[in-house]
Amino acid sequence: MSYIPHTADDVRVMFEAIRSSGGPGDMEALFSGIPAACRLQRPLEIPAALDEMALEAHMRELAGRNASPASAVCFLGGGAYDHFVPAVVDQLSSRGEFYTSYTPYQAEASQGNLQVYFEYQSLISTLTGMDISNMSLYDGGSAAAEAVLMALSVTPRKKVLLSSTAHPEYRQVIETYLANLGVETVTVQARGGVLSTAELAEAIDDSTACVLLQQPNFFGCIEQIEALTAVAHSVGALVVAAVDPVSLGVLKRPGDCGVDIVVAEGQGLGNYLAYGGPYLGILACRESFVRRMPGRLTGQTQDRRGNRCWVLTLQTREQHIRREKATSNVCTNQGLLALRSSIHLAALGPQGLFEVATACLAKATYARQRLLTSNRLSAAFDQPFFKEFVIRDAHGGPDALVAELLSAGYLAGVPLGRWYPELDDCLLVAVTEKRTRAEIDGLAEAIHSISSTLTTSNHAQHSIHQTAL
């Protein structure tokens, strides 16, 4: 079996057709525009072809090298979480009419999908306390960047403030989006795990278009969103709040806190970790901003017979309107993942979401208490938190601890040094409703065992050194 699906005869026939139209007659002539020094002058170093059985066995062996929540107990967080996905989500979302359909350009042929998107928008608007939701974006990071672009289009200002407690990768995406737009981005440094009103007030002025906040923030801490929003609004700036949708089972809705635009990562609503994607970008806002909203919006109307039906009411992207009038170059929506989140939210209902959020809060609280019984670990911040918290490793960088815990069967958390050099001895730990008391106790005992082994080893080395002296 060849890796290139064209036979010599296929290539000959194609070049005969190209030559008859005045084009190059062979492969060498076709690539003559590429300097010889830039071309690979040898065959590709790829292994020989495998038959189907051998290929499947090889792929299984490669996949088996990955650690995942299926092979280790997961305490990873930082924007992607091991939440439980009810079987009804897989069952309904895998139906052929949903799973294989594409963007519903033709309303008359796509009523089912359009209704799903309308229901998704309605659920997200209710969940966030906002007036309008679009049909979803790519992921939480791109949703945050699109929201900032939205805010810049609403106000004539050219300055954006980013809280240092917001997801560092969301901030990186925003800075990339704005790099060539003549917009000043300023990261407001927070102390003590949350952004204070004084810190925000010192950085903000009447040239600020918007402020990016996160609730709960990247460290899992609860921000004073209402007070921070009031500071931003006092100078006419808008507030973009990135939220954990699961936390809205117990926390006040951002719309009720005065926030102008809400974004979120929807992975935790009926979607798997999936090794990092695809994910679901949530964006909702006040109705007055609807014509600045990126992506697509589904609306409900009536057909000529008076029947309820659904249509795409806003398609403000470059493919549909003149480029200078487009709100974004977002080309699609995460329809399948939005469907899964809709099924998930509908199946849970308000009480179910409350119970999931309460379980996350209770189990995270227990896990933090349990881990802090180790002399090796201490709390990095003394703040209320939801389902994540930061612990400090007295033995220095936590990377070695994480590696040892992985060998013991635990995905223990996310080291923070890569984003926050001042927290290079800290670990972000997330606890969802899936974690059991036994799993949490097991993590604590594994840390205790590793620490005890290290202490014993250090004592032994010290004794040997003293004997040598």
Residue-wise pLDDT for 55-71, tens only, equals 999 999 999 898 899 89
Rounding to the nearest 10 degrees, give the CA dihedral for residues 218, 222, 226, 230. -50
Tell me the C-alpha distance between 440 and 433, whole Å: 12
How far is the C-alpha of 148 from the C-alpha of 191, rounded, in Å? Answer: 24
Q: Is the pLDDT of residue 127 over 90?
A: yes
CA distance 68 to 128: 31
Neighbours of 453 (CB within 10 A): 11
Answer whether residue 462 shows pLDDT above 50: no
For tokens 């931003």, the residue is: 232
Digit-coded pLDDT (tens) for 165-180: 999 999 999 999 999 9
- Rounded to an integer, the average pLDDT of 449-456 is 73
Rounded average pLDDT over 394-418: 94
1-10, 206-215, 413-422, 459-468, range with the lowest pLDDT: 459-468
Q: Is the pLDDT of residue 319 over 90?
A: no
Once rounded to an integer, what is the mean pLDDT over residues 451-455? 69
Sign of torsion over alpha carbons 92, 94, 96, 98: positive
- What local confidence, expressed as pLDDT, does residue 460 receive? 45
Question: At 130, phi and psi to the nearest 5?
Answer: -105, 165
What length does the chain have?
469
| Distance from C-alpha of 391 to C-alpha of 218, rounded to nearest angstrom | 13
Residue 399 pLDDT more than 90? yes
**pLDDT given for residue 7 in this prediction:** 86
Least Cα distance to 62 among 47, 78, 77, 82 occurs for 47
Lowest mean pLDDT among 23-37, 251-265, 353-367: 23-37
Banded pLDDT at 413 (limits 50, 70, 90): very high
Q: pLDDT averaged over the chain?
A: 91
What count of other Cβ atoms lies within 10 Å of the Cβ of residue 263?
30
> Mean pLDDT, to the nearest integer, of 10-23?
93
With beta carbons less than 8 A apart as the criterion, state whether 184 and 174 touch: no
- Which DSSP state fits 137? B
Q: What is the pLDDT of residue 396?
A: 81
Q: Is the pLDDT of residue 419 over 50?
A: yes
Answer yes or no: are the C-beta atoms of 226 and 197 closer than 8 Å: no
Per-residue pLDDT of 333-380, as tens digits, reads 888 999 999 999 999 999 999 999 999 999 999 999 999 999 999 999
* Distance separating alpha carbons of residues 166 and 388, to the nearest angstrom: 14
2 pLDDT more than 50: no
The confidence score (pLDDT) of residue 108 equals 72
- Report the Cα 234 to chain-centroid distance in Å: 31
Alpha carbon distance 392, 162 (integer Å)? 25
Q: Please give the single-letter amino acid code of residue 321.
A: I
Q: For residue 251, name the pLDDT band (cuts at 50, 70, 90).
A: very high
**Which pLDDT band holds residue 402 (cuts at 50, 70, 90)?**
very high
Check whether 456 has a pLDDT greater than 90.
no
Percent share of the chain, pLDDT over 90 = 76
Residue 134 vs residue 316, higher pLDDT: 134
* C-alpha torsion 272→274→276→280, nearest 10: -40
Residue 92 has pLDDT above 50, yes or no: yes
